[in-house]
Amino acid sequence: MKATRLVRLAKAAGVKLATAESCTGGLIAGAITAVPGSSAVFTHGFVTYGNDAKAEMLGVEPGLIEAVGAVSSEVAAAMAQGALARGKADVAVSVTGIAGPDGGSAEKPVGTVWFGLAKAGGVTTYHRLFAGSRRAVRAQSVDFALGLLSKEVSTSFCEQKEAKKLY
d(CA 113, CA 119): 20
Q: Domain residues of the chain, as ranges?
A: 2-166
CA distances from 124 to 20, 26, 30, 120, 150 (A): 14, 21, 23, 11, 15
pLDDT computed for residue 167 by the predictor: 39
pLDDT tens digits, the chain, 167 residues: what are they?
Answer: 899 999 999 999 999 999 999 999 999 999 999 999 999 999 999 999 999 999 999 999 999 999 999 999 999 999 999 999 999 999 999 999 999 999 999 999 999 999 999 999 999 999 999 999 999 999 999 999 999 999 999 998 876 655 455 33
DSSP bridge pairs for 116:
94, 125
Longest dimension (CA), the chain: 55
List the CATH code of the domain at 2-166: 3.90.950.20
| Contact status, residue 44 vs residue 19, Cβ threshold 8 Å | yes
Kindly report the pTM of this predicted structure: 0.94
